[in-house]
Amino acid sequence: GAGVSQSPSNKVTEKGKDVELRCDPISGHTALYWYRQSLGQGLEFLIYFQGNSAPDKSGLPSDRFSAERTGGSVSTLTIQRTQQEDSAVYLCASSFPYADTQYFGPGTRLTVL
Amino acid sequence: AQSVTQLDSQVPVFEEAPVELRCNYSSSVSVYLFWYVQYPNQGLQLLLKYLSGSTLVESINGFEAEFNKSQTSFHLRKPSVHISDTAEYFCAVGRSGNTPLVFGKGTRLSVIA
């Protein structure tokens, strides 16, 4: 079946612009995660959605970062006023309710000039 | 809080030689342990996981890892590597199902012909 999909695959933006990154989880997966993979920092958790519960935003690095999940499915990660240090690969993962295995999408490579 | 240390950032090894990728974790609670693999230009894929029970877990492509609670380790091993094993390997911990994972910074395995 279809895996986790993310769009765009690559995004180049100028410093100060806003960007939106999209994630389509696997059908039936109620849990959705955003991670960031950057050089020297490895993979860092950003935000986690589980069903209709309030999201766990504890990993968001600043208030310029936000995410929403509409209808319990598609999620959008928004970065406002992008900075060069935001350049990274943003990964989305999803899983079944209370399951241990997360399935990752291919990522969006964000480059802030 | 949990943390994961992957002691080697890069491991070069000749084809058909054995390899061990080291992973140590820190946690005040019981954890689930994972190894994910990222092949060049691809997303993260689950390689194997330890949840409970037998401390030795295996993957379908010949890798194995052993959970050692006293040493808080979950090292990944393969007795004979192939060129196709060239990838980046990430060790991760989670508190339970459906919780964000804490990743190590990754180990780049390069298999040399």
The pLDDT score that the predictor gives to residue B95 is 81
* A39 at B interface, C-beta within 8 A: no
- A109 at B interface, C-beta within 8 A: no
**Mind listing the pLDDT tens digit of every residue in chain A (113 residues)?**
589 999 999 999 999 999 999 999 999 899 999 999 998 778 999 999 988 888 999 999 999 999 999 887 999 999 999 999 999 999 999 998 777 889 999 999 999 99
The model's pLDDT over B71-107, given as tens digits with 9 standing for 90+, comes to: 999 999 999 999 999 999 999 998 876 789 999 999 9
pLDDT digits (tens, 9 = 90+) for B1-18: 889 999 999 999 999 999
- What is the number of H-type helices and E-type strands within chain A? 0, 10
pLDDT at A1: 56
Are B106 and A101 in contact (CB < 8 Å)?
no
> What backbone phi and psi angles, to 5 degrees, belong to B78?
-145, 130
Output Rg (C-alpha) for chain A, integer angstroms: 13
Under 8 Å between Cβ of B102 and B94: yes
Nearest CA among A2, A30, A31, A9 for reference residue A89: A9
Residue identified by tokens 């029970």 is B53
Residue of A32, A33, A60, A102 to mutate for B, most B C-beta atoms under 10 A: A102
Our CA-based measurement puts residue B21 at a distance from the nearest CA of chain A, in whole angstroms, of: 16
Nearest residue of chain B to residue A51 (CA atoms): B98
Q: Please give the pLDDT value at position A82.
A: 97
The verdict on a CB contact (< 8 Å) between A107 and B104 is no
> From residue B99, how far is each of A32, B41, B74 by CA, in Å?
10, 26, 19
Q: Using 50, 70 and 90 to split pLDDT, how confident is the model at B59? A: confident
At residue A9, the pLDDT reads: 95
Å between A103 CA and nearest CA of chain B: 7
Segment B15-41, tens digit of pLDDT: 999 999 999 999 877 789 999 999 988
Calculate the CA dihedral of residues A27, A28, A31, A33 and round it to 10 degrees.
-10
